[in-house]
């Protein structure tokens, strides 16, 4: 299970890096959103899950408690990632409305590829 999770994280980081290095602003925003998902999976993978322990429980005497730390961190990361993605989408939309361009090399003064 851990190897599948690690391969999934690696694949998401690869795709996000590829999309961030593109010229299109929307692809850059989607790449950043994919990076946030990969980061959430990295945080979740830090939990101690072995073949004997299938649930994130803290066992103390007679009572079992669910460890809320990973859940709270991932929930906070999801909210922050959503806010950043929404802000970047509004920023890209406003940039497109003003400049009528959606490629980053045109906005930075680089040469246009035609």
Encoded tokens for 18: 């590829």
Whole-number mean pLDDT of the chain?
Answer: 85
13-34: pLDDT as tens digits: 999 999 999 999 999 999 999 9
103's CB contacts (< 8 A; 6+ apart) are 23, 24, 25, 112
CATH number for region 2-49+56-107:
1.10.287
Is residue 9 within 8 Å of residue 38, measured between CB atoms?
yes
53-83: pLDDT as tens digits: 566 666 667 766 666 788 888 899 999 999 9
Burial class (CB in 10 A: 0-12, 13-18, 19+), 43: middle
């Amino acid at each position: 299970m851990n190897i599948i999770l690690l391969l999934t994280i690696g694949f998401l980081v690869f795709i996000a890096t590829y999309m961030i290095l593109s010229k299109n602003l929307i692809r850059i925003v989607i790449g950043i959103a994919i990076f946030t998902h990969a980061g959430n999976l990295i945080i979740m993978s830090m939990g101690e899950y072995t073949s004997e322990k299938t649930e994130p429980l803290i066992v103390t005497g007679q009572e079992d408690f669910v460890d809320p730390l990973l859940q709270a961190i991932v929930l906070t990361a999801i909210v922050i990632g959503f806010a950043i993605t929404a802000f970047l989408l509004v920023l890209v939309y406003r940039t497109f409305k003003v400049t009528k361009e959606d490629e980053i090399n045109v906005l930075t003064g680089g040469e246009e590829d035609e």
